[in-house]
Amino acid sequence: MTVSSISRVLEFLRDYPNGAYGWQIAAHLEVTDASVGQTLLILETRNQIKLIWQGKSRSESLWRLPTEREGTTPAVFRAMETLWAMQEVARRRMGEIMVVEVTHA
């Protein structure tokens, strides 16, 4: 795809803030899925678009432009990250306690 095709993909995605499938983009631009796939990968490596996984493959997933809030983590995920960190610390401490108990037995 050419530079103009890249800009056309970006323009198309601006009209679809929730994202679009690769085949939708290909149909709109009247090019092959493979051609669009290469362009989407180039744009993804440049961090100009984002892949939202919705299945087992890229063809089942949505492509969209990054949002302004992209760098922020929703509160629910921060809470989960905190919980996982606390559980990991507890596991390590339990391992240390069990090692101490076994060595003194």
- How far is the CA of 47 from the CAs of 27, 36, 70, 85, in angstroms? 23, 16, 11, 29
Q: What pLDDT digit, counting tens, does each position of 59-104 carry?
A: 778 888 887 655 555 666 667 778 888 888 888 888 766 655 556 5
Confidence class for position 9, pLDDT limits 50, 70, 90: very high
Distance separating alpha carbons of residues 23 and 16, to the nearest angstrom: 14
Distance separating alpha carbons of residues 82 and 84, to the nearest angstrom: 5
The CATH number of domain 3-64 is 1.10.10.10:
yes
Q: Domain spans of the chain?
A: 3-64, 73-105
Which pLDDT score, from 0 to 100, does residue 87 have? 87
Q: Please name the amino acid found at residue 55.
A: G
Q: What pLDDT digit, counting tens, does each position of 21-50 carry?
A: 999 999 999 998 888 888 998 898 888 888
Q: Cα 75 vs. chain centroid, distance in angstroms?
A: 17
